[in-house]
Structure formats: structure tokens, C-alpha cells
Amino acid sequence: MNVSTETLQNIANLARLALSGPEEAQMLRDLNQMLDWVALLDEIEIREAAPLTFLDETLAPLREDEARPALQRENVLRLAPHHDGIYFRVPRVMD
């Protein structure tokens, strides 16, 4: 399967990418190489495989749960670069 320039431009538009001529050519080559590699996976003969299971506790014993005291808010907020006394303050990421 080969991706056309038109398909690549549609993908770039959806991803909000502005690709220059050389970048577009490189992206087209890379994308087609990735799809060729995935197509090779179709050629692998897959036989029946045993279902995945969880690790046996004898191989990796689990630690016991134990209650621990919570961290003090004042101590944690003191380490934060910005806070309002109750919550961490972070830069706005959405409008």
C-alpha cells in the first residue's frame, strides 16, 4: 500500500502540520516505509498461541498493603513552584 501525496496532505491537515516541500517528500517516504514494514507482518505465519496469563505469585510475590500517613499539604505545597495555599497552580493549557 502506498500513500499518495494527497492522502499525506489530508493527514497533515488533520494533524495541523505545515510541511514544506522537502519535509513532505521525507514524510511521504517515511510513511510508505512504515506501511511496507507493517505489510511484512502479514506474511508471518501465526500459529495458535497460549493466552496471556498473569504472573504467578510464586514468581513475583506481591508486597503487603500497608497504611502510611498522608503527606502534609503544607510540606508538599512548599516544594511547588506555584500554589494558592490549597492547590498547585499550573499554566493554562486549554481555552
Assign residue 35 the CATH number of its domain: 1.10.20
Number of domains in the chain: 1
The distance of Cα 49 from the centroid of its chain, to the nearest Å, equals 27
Structural domain contains residue 22: yes
- Domain range holding 36? 5-41
Structural domain contains residue 81: no
Structural domain contains residue 18: yes
Segment 35-60, tens digit of pLDDT: 999 999 888 888 887 776 666 666 66
Which three three-digit cell numbers place residue 33?
516505509
Structural domain contains residue 34: yes
DSSP 5: H
Structural domain contains residue 63: no
What separation, in Å, do the N-terminal and C-terminal C-alpha atoms of the chain show?
Answer: 40
Q: Which has the closest alpha carbon to 24: 13, 35, 36, 8?
A: 8
Which three three-digit cell numbers place residue 51?
493466552
Q: What is the pTM of this model?
A: 0.46
Tell me what pLDDT residue 55 has: 61
Among residues of the chain, what percentage have pLDDT more than 90? 59
Structural domain contains residue 79: no
The pair phi, psi for residue 71, each rounded to 5°, is -70, 145
